[in-house]
Amino acid sequence: MQFPLFQTKIEGRGKIFKLSDPSERWAYFHLKAGREIEKLKSYLEKNSFVAYLLGKKNSGKGTYSKLFIEVFGPDRVAQVSVGDLVRAAHKIVLEGGTAQDELLGFLKQNYRGYLSLEQSLEALTGRDVTRLLPTEFILALVKKEIARFPKKALFIDGFPRNLDQVSYSLYLRELIGYRDDPDVLVLIDVPEKIIEERMKYRVVCPKCQLVPNLKLNPTKRVGYDQEKKTFYLICDNPVCQGQRLDSGKEGDRSGIETIRERLNNEGRLMEQALQLYGLPKVLLRNHLPQEKALEFADAYEITPEYSYEWDDAKKEVRVLEKPWVFPDDEGVPSVSLLAPAVVVSLLKQLAQTLNL
């Protein structure tokens, strides 16, 4: 699945922004999509929408909704992560107490499915590994979360896990029109090579859970291990006091094949959603063919790749930066857009979709 190219480059507006800096990002968004931002802002004063973000694992769904919230503020927009909801429910059920009473009370009122509530809870907590958590159960959790934000625009992020196509159409059918405001499907097209490198080079700070990437999104400081002759990132967060960030889980290192089945399934579900009539769709694409890159985007919107050298004389790490070129799913040499550039495309398409 490849979506149309989207132009974020505007002739005559060549000012360069550092997109990792929040205040420069604000100026960037207003330069590239100022009119759309104003229209969406006045729309969101009295109206809302529900956007379903559909993309494969590691396609950046969470990042895009966070940047959208950065533009319009948490008073107007909220993000609902389906994975987080299931994990939070799991924790509540294990810990008991009033939070559990409240959750169970809601589920008794709202859950309708072919497994009993008790059986579903056992599947949720992993006491029963023979049954999958029913879609209806996940739906009840998502609806409970939607009810928490009656006046806000929502980004519902992610597929429930282990979903086949039949349960998926049930899931979408139940949610679409659940709230009396426009529904929008936002599909994200990300080549597998990007997913793979994001997995392979990500590191997690054990203290603050920051997740930088050694190759694509390093921290400000990089260290060198003289013995192992390897480079490592150092957490930017001041409270972590220079925490050294070593490479990710073994499963991540072994690459994309460990999640092959999941990626294929998510691809099929996206194809299915793409064919749904009557629902407006926003098609986000985070990659461009290398030969057309500078026609469609500005150079600073393109993801660089970083590598490192140890300068033994100066006793310091040298950081080298160049455009990251990789084959897309069709083998075409491609570059990737930084998340804010994809969000410009989201802002423009969304304003158009809502007829603003």
Residue with smaller CB distance to Zn ion, 125 or 243: 243
Question: Within positions 61 to 120, which residues make up the interface with Zn ion, using CB under 5 A?
Answer: none
DSSP one-letter string for 64-80 = HHHHHHHHH-TTTEEEE
340 CB contacts (<8 Å, ≥6 apart)? 19, 25, 28, 29, 67, 301
| CB of 91 vs Zn ion, minimal distance in Å | 22
Residue with smaller CB distance to Zn ion, 117 or 210: 210
Contact indicator for 204, 259 with CB cutoff of 8 Å: no
Tokens of 28: 């960037």
| CB of 236 vs Zn ion, minimal distance in Å | 7
C-alpha gyration radius of the chain: 22
| CB of 243 vs Zn ion, minimal distance in Å | 5
| CB of 248 vs Zn ion, minimal distance in Å | 15
| CB of 302 vs Zn ion, minimal distance in Å | 27
Cα dihedral sign, 143-148-151-157: negative
Residue with smaller CB distance to Zn ion, 167 or 219: 219
Question: Within positions 169 to 208, which residues make up the interface with Zn ion, using CB under 5 A?
Answer: 205, 207-208
Question: Within positions 204 to 243, which residues make up the interface with Zn ion, using CB under 5 A?
Answer: 205, 207-208, 210, 235, 237, 240
Taking the C-alpha atoms of residue 68 and residue 79, their distance in angstroms, rounded to an integer, is 10
Report the SS3 class of residue 261: helix
Residue with smaller CB distance to Zn ion, 96 or 238: 238
First to last CA, the chain: 28
Taking the C-alpha atoms of residue 288 and residue 323, their distance in angstroms, rounded to an integer, is 12
Contact indicator for 275, 9 with CB cutoff of 8 Å: no
| CB of 321 vs Zn ion, minimal distance in Å | 23
Count of positions on this chain that bind Zn ion (CB under 5 A)? 7
Taking the C-alpha atoms of residue 124 and residue 138, their distance in angstroms, rounded to an integer, is 10
SS3 readout for 14-62: CCCCCCCCHHHHHHHHHHHHHHHHHHHHHHHHHCCCEEEEECCCCCCHH
Residue with smaller CB distance to Zn ion, 209 or 355: 209
| CB of 235 vs Zn ion, minimal distance in Å | 3
Question: Within positions 255 to 284, which residues make up the interface with Zn ion, using CB under 5 A?
Answer: none
Residue with smaller CB distance to Zn ion, 126 or 242: 242
Report the SS3 class of residue 218: coil
Report the SS3 class of residue 264: helix
Residue 26-45 contact track with Zn ion, rule CB under 5 A, x = bound: --------------------
Residue with smaller CB distance to Zn ion, 161 or 244: 244
Residue with smaller CB distance to Zn ion, 148 or 207: 207
Question: Within positions 129 to 148, which residues make up the interface with Zn ion, using CB under 5 A?
Answer: none
| CB of 237 vs Zn ion, minimal distance in Å | 4
Tokens of 34: 């100022």
Rule CB under 5 A: which residues touch Zn ion?
Answer: 205, 207-208, 210, 235, 237, 240
